[in-house]
Amino acid sequence: TRGVHPDFMAKEIEQQPEVVAEVMTTWGPSVAGDLWPSFGLQVPRHLTIVGCGTSLHAGRAVAQVTARLGGIPYSAIEASEVATTTTVPGSLAVVLSQSGETADVLRAVDVLHQRGHPILALTNNPHSALARQAQAVMLCQAGPEIGVAATKTFTAQVIGGTAMGLSLLAAARLVDRSAVRRRVAELSGVPDLLAYAIGAARRSVPDLVPALLDSPGFVFLGRGSSRVFADEGALKLKELTYRWAESHAAGELKHGPLALIETGTPVVVLDDGSERLAANIAEVRARGARVISVGPEQATIPARTSTTALARGLDWLGPLETVVGLQVLARELAVALGRDVDKPRNLAKSVTVE
Ligand code: M6R
């Protein structure tokens, strides 16, 4: 049941700190030791990340962490594009799907098997077709998600996938075990970080909504490790509000998207504090954009306090906590527009047709 919450999405946003805590309780103790060996897979030199929608975003976030910390290269492919995309021979396919029943994903699994790729599934459903067909399974431990928009399963996939990635780096001796244990200890701070971000978003977002009700379209900007979270925020916004939302690397603005900006255009910026991004923000401001920054304490939607050692220690993970503010923004705007946030039009929770 949704209990005291107005809708399942609100409940599932709220559950994220406890879900992440559960993921870490389940997998944390084995990350530096038995986790990778338990998969029975060889240590790969390359990862092929496969999924759709939010699951693909989670996969990208995870692959970026393993690349950043241990240098394992990767490609990320939409499941529906696997059949028409060349894959790196010998690569381990990491296939992410909340439901484990997405038709595009299952078709990709067939193709990947034909090409000889072993498959490690990251799913929320141990009984799914994906779990049955994969060589190894890592569960994301998020519990049932009712809202069509993925929220808690996204954070669970990112944290569970990061645990999996760290276990690979330990097994491959790309990061030594004591350093892996330190990273795991840092991850145990994520629930607090998310709880802070949820509270801050609940305080800051309602005041923003009235001015956005008539905005036909939104631009989301990120760079580096924040880019994938900007993509996820834009997906959530379009899915729930039925408004256009484009996500771009901030540096791409001048190569096209800048032409979209006019007085009042909302531009949601994942602020990483860099000078380059500040220059991009100045560019859109000069054209009249309504800038909504997400991230630091002084942002429009604050997501972390700069003073906590916790937030500093987790920089290697990328700004996962910003996604919470973007989920709240999409939901609150959708509710104000009278949308059914648990069941957006035209979409299904589990997409079983290709
Ligand atoms: O069950 P899956 O993770 O395979 O589903 C993939 C996408 O259909 C899903 O993430 C979709 O993008 C969400 N509704 C987004 O909120």
**ipTM attached to this prediction:** 0.98
Torsion of Cα atoms, 253 then 257 then 263 then 265, to 10°: -100
Cα Rg of the chain (Å, integer)? 19
284 CB burial (10 A radius; 0-12, 13-18, 19+): buried
| CA end-to-end span of the chain | 31
DSSP 302: E
Best of 54, 80, 106 for a ligand 1 pocket test (most atoms within 8 Å of beta carbon): 54
Ligand 1 atom 10 nearest Cα: 54
pLDDT given at position 349: 87
Name the residue at shortest CA distance from atom 16 of ligand 1.
149
Measured distance CA(353)–CA(330) in Å, rounded: 26
**Residue 254, burial from CB neighbour count under 10 angstroms (0-12, 13-18, 19+):** exposed
Residue with tokens 């078709």: 107
Q: Nearest residue CA, atom 4 of ligand 1?
A: 97
Specify the ligand 1 atom closest to the Cα of 151: 16
Q: Which of 353, 349, 329 is nearest to 55 (CA)?
A: 349
- Going by the DSSP 8-state scheme, the letter that residue 351 receives in this structure is -
In ligand 1, which atom is closest to the CA atom of 104? 4
User: Which is nearest to 28 in space by CA: 197, 194, 255, 184?
Assistant: 184
* Ligand 1 site residues, Cβ closer than 6 angstroms: 52-55, 97-99, 102, 105, 148-150, 235, 239, 347, 350-351
Pocket test of ligand 1: the residue of 8, 49, 95, 102 to mutate, having most ligand atoms within 8 Å of its CB, is 102
Q: Which atom of ligand 1 is nearest to the CA of 148?
A: 14
Q: Which of 98, 133, 148 to mutate to test the pocket of ligand 1 (most atoms within 8 A of CB)?
A: 98
Task: List the pLDDT tens digit at each of the 354 positions of the chain.
Answer: 888 999 999 999 999 999 999 999 999 999 999 999 999 999 999 999 999 999 999 999 999 999 999 999 999 999 999 999 999 999 999 999 999 999 999 999 999 999 999 999 999 999 999 999 999 999 999 999 988 999 999 999 999 999 999 999 999 999 999 999 999 999 999 999 999 999 999 999 999 999 999 999 999 999 999 999 999 999 999 999 999 999 999 999 999 999 999 999 999 999 988 999 999 999 999 999 999 999 988 999 999 887 665 566 788 999 999 999 999 999 999 999 999 999 998 888 888 888
Placement of tokens 């986790």 in the chain? 35
Pocket test for ligand 1, best of 8, 9, 13, 52 (most atoms within 8 A of CB): 52
- Read off φ and ψ for residue 136, nearest 5 degrees: -145, 150
Question: What's the confidence (pLDDT) of residue 307?
Answer: 65
Nearest to 228 by CA among 136, 146, 161: 161
Written as six digits, the tokens of 94 are 């990491």
Model pLDDT, residue 311: 61
pLDDT of residue 315: 87
> By three-state DSSP, how is residue 123 classified?
strand
What is the pLDDT, as a whole number, of residue 310?
57
